[in-house]
Amino acid sequence: MSCCSSEDGVVGSPIVPAMFVFGDSLVDDGNNNFLSSIARANYFPYGIDFDFAVPTGRFSNGKTFVDFLASMMGVASPAPFADPNTVGTRILGGVNYASAAAGILDESGQHYGERFSLSHQVLNFESTLNQLRTLMPASNLTSYLAKSVAVLLFGSNDYINNYLMPSLYPSRSLYTPPQFANLLLNHYARQLIALYSVGLRKFFVAGIGPLGCIPNQRSSRLVPPGRCADSVNQMLGTFNEGLRSLVDQLNQRPGAFYVYGNSYSAAGDILNNPATFGFSVVDKACCGMGGNLGQITCMPYIMPCPNRNQYVFWDAFHPTEAVNAILANRAFFGSPLYAYPINIQNLILK
């Protein structure tokens, strides 16, 4: 079983039947375009480096993390669930349920309007499952689901758009950081088990990256130039360590293969050694307004920086396409430091 090299990113012959994507704006490929939400990226300059320079709803200048993973798996990027055209044979290669501002908790990000939270995305997957049952016999469906890969990226909004917003959400006064992390992990575990119970067997579950280093947090917490908001980063340790432990527990289930993606270390490497990866700007957004160009995110028709491949951050919250490519390579081909206990390439072979 082989596919593209870590360099080419070209879609080859499929090495998985389908990829199902659950998450937030880091991997939303247009679901929020169809929702009543202010968290949208359906305008220029989003997508300036995407195919035909067209904004699709991806919160990037180009491809997302899962676009690169799809290429490595030899499948097309899964279509957004909320698109009315995502029906029939179009769902066979997988579906993307990710929604900007979504969290593990239903209330996270609610000030942005409509979004599909984690629990809602799992329900949406179950509706896809009902469609799949009409497209193939039950025995084929069991094998198809067992060989497909589910990718999940959650947790950032539970901090940025909940716990770290005490003026809008009470969670900070109700829970210490470790208690809040455990609340998230308990909710997450239930939904991961729900996806297993309906037939999925291969999972890549990403941890949270160093949120204290995104332009939005550097700006709003007034950290000194070149520094990250350490207090924010320190909060994430319990969640990330707990998610890694949860993967160990879930791997005890018959036929289950869960992989923990160490987003914190993978992104941390880039932030700590930017020149090694070809980056020169780590603390400012390529597109935005205010301090670090991170106080107000990329607005319609603002001209972004011309040297986008030298920037770690595209806007106040999201990495550039160049960073997404590195993170996807780490997840697919990386050592257990980045993909534990095995990488996605080996997960597919299971």
Residues classed as catalytic: 25, 315, 318
The letter for the amino acid at 154 is: F
Closest to 75 in 3D by CA, of 91, 57, 87: 91
DSSP state of 142: H
The end-to-end CA distance of the chain, in Å, is 11
Stated length of the chain:
350
Token pair of 101 as six digits: 């501002």
Cβ neighbours of residue 5 closer than 8 Å, sequence gap 6 or more: none
Closest to 162 measured CA to CA, from 140, 177, 141: 177
SS3 79: strand
The Cα angle at residue 120 between residues 134 and 170, in degrees rounded to 5 = 175
Please check whether residue 344 is in contact with residue 70, taking contact to mean a CB–CB distance below 8 angstroms. Answer: no
Give the number of other Cβ atoms within 10 Å of residue 198's Cβ. 11
Alpha carbon 118 to chain centroid distance?
Answer: 12
Q: Alpha-carbon distance 148 to 16, whole Å?
A: 6
**Cβ(333)–Cβ(343) under 8 Å?**
yes
CB-CB contact of 260 with 191 (8 Å) = no
Token pair, residue 203, equals: 């999972």
